[in-house]
Structure 1
Amino acid sequence: MIGQKQQFVTIKGTKSGLSLHLDDSCSFQQLLKELEEKLSTNQQKDSPLISVDIKVGNRYLNRQQQDEIREIIRSKKKLVIGSFESNVLTKEEALEWKKQTDITTVAKIIRSGQVFQVPGDLLLIGDVNPGGTVIAGGNIFVLGVLRGIAHAGCYGNDDAVITASVMKPMQIRINNLVSRSPDNQDAGNEMECAFIDTHENQIIIDRVQALPHLRPKLTRLERGMM
Structure 2
Amino acid sequence: MDLHGYFRSSASYRVRIALNLKGLDYQYQPVNLLKNEQLGEAYRALNPQGLVPALVDNGNILTQSLAIIEWLEETHPQPALLPANALERARVRALAYNVACDIQPIQNLRILKYLQSELGVSDEQKLGWIRHWINSGFTALETQLEISADSPFAGGQTPGLFECCLIPQIYNAERFGVDIGQYPAIKQISEACAVLPAFIDARPENQSDSTL
Report the TM-score, using the length of structure 1 for normalisation: 0.23
Name the larger-Rg structure: 1
Report the TM-score, using the length of structure 2 for normalisation: 0.24
Which fold has the larger relative contact order, with Cα–Cα distance below 8 Å and residues 6 or more apart in sequence?
A: 2
If each structure's strand is expressed as a fraction of its own residues, which one has the higher value?
1
